């Protein structure tokens, strides 16, 4: 089978106060949106690296306090995560399914499975108070670190790590990172839709199955368009 052709370009972006020049490579032909996620992960990594310059980040492997927060995930990232889960060895998949079922039960029991007119802020506060660990968290470390969602990459703190476990989040100083991840929402469908990462399997049961195919450069254009960059 012939190798897929790829297109490469250097993106020069102004995001917030940051100036980024980042090379990006995507499939040249029509593909589902999930296939450009590696390129978007690289872009978010570059934005975060620029924001980190001169800052002392206190996040360390083994500290998963922030992995009990509500992590909003877009359809495209949800589809990629499902592919990732399907490729895991059966025993890991089984253990993960158990953690997802436990998280879903806790969230549903607390009445947080639906937004029900709550603001995103109220929902996030109630969710964090529940203390449900992300099902991908193993021994307080992310078990899918290279593939973690875009928004997880953007959350870093400069304050002492122990403050992150406090329900009030008092004294937590997140690094100021432009939230490029937001542009992944509605990348396929225009609607600014998302679901909590811990509800991935619940979302999978009713998710839309029809997926558009566009060329890699077209997907990137749409993503940048959602950031207000033409
Ligand atoms: S995906 Fe990884 S980094 Fe993100 S919340 Fe889950 S365990 Fe934490």
- pLDDT of amino acid 131: 92
What rounded mean pLDDT belongs to the chain?
92
* Alpha-carbon separation of residue 223 from 60, 119, 230 (angstroms): 30, 25, 10
| Measured distance CA(109)–CA(188) in Å, rounded | 31
Entry field: residues in the chain: 230
- pLDDT of amino acid 195: 92
Q: Are 86 and 212 in contact (CB under 8 A)?
A: no
Those residues whose C-beta lies under 8 Å from the C-beta of residue 58, and which sit 6 or more positions away, are: 157, 158, 159, 160, 161
**pTM for the full predicted model:** 0.93
Which element (helix H / strand E) includes 20? strand 18-27
- Least confident window among 5-9, 55-59, 100-104: 55-59
Which residue's CA is the closest to the ligand 1 atom numbered 4? 152
CA atoms within 13 A on the CB side of 214: 15
Mutate to test the pocket of ligand 1, among 67, 68, 132, 157 (most ligand atoms within 8 A of CB): 67
Distance 148 CA to ligand 1 centre (A): 6
- pLDDT of amino acid 168: 80
Q: What is the mean pLDDT of residues 134-163?
A: 94
- pLDDT of amino acid 46: 96
Pocket residues: Cβ below 6 A from ligand 1: 67, 71, 134, 136-137, 142, 144, 148-149, 152
Look at residue 192 and tell me whether its pLDDT is greater than 70.
no
Tens of pLDDT, residue by residue over 71-87, are: 999 999 999 999 999 99
Tens of pLDDT, residue by residue over 32-71, are: 999 999 999 999 999 999 999 999 999 888 888 899 999 9
- pLDDT of amino acid 121: 86
Q: Are 74 and 194 in contact (CB under 8 A)?
A: yes
Res. 161 pLDDT band, cuts 50 70 90: confident
Mutate to test the pocket of ligand 1, among 37, 61, 84, 136 (most ligand atoms within 8 A of CB): 136
Look at residue 230 and tell me whether its pLDDT is greater than 70.
no
Q: Are 133 and 67 in contact (CB under 8 A)?
A: yes
| Measured distance CA(157)–CA(176) in Å, rounded | 9
């Amino acid at each position: 089978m012939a190798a897929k052709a790829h297109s490469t370009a250097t993106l020069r972006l102004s995001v917030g106060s940051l100036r980024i020049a980042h090379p990006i490579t995507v499939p040249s032909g029509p593909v589902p949106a999930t296939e450009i996620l590696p390129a978007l992960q690289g872009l978010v990594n570059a934005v975060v690296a620029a924001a980190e310059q001169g800052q002392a980040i206190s996040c360390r492997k083994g500290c998963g306090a922030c992995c009990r927060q509500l992590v909003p995930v877009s359809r495209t990232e949800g589809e990629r995560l499902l592919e990732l889960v399907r490729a895991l060895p059966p025993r890991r998949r089984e253990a993960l399914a158990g953690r997802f079922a436990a998280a879903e039960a806790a969230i549903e029991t607390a009445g947080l499975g639906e937004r029900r007119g709550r603001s995103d802020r109220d929902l996030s506060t109630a969710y964090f108070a529940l203390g449900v660990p992300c099902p991908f968290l193993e021994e307080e470390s992310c078990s899918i670190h290279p593939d973690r969602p875009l928004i997880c990459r953007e959350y870093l703190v400069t304050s002492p790590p122990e403050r992150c476990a406090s329900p009030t989040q008092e004294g937590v100083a997140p690094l100021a990172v432009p939230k490029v991840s937001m542009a992944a929402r509605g990348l396929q469908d225009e609607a600014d839709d998302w679901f909590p990462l811990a509800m991935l399997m619940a979302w999978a049961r009713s998710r839309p199955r029809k997926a558009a195919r566009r060329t890699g450069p077209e997907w990137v254009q749409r993503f940048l368009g959602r950031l207000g960059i033409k």
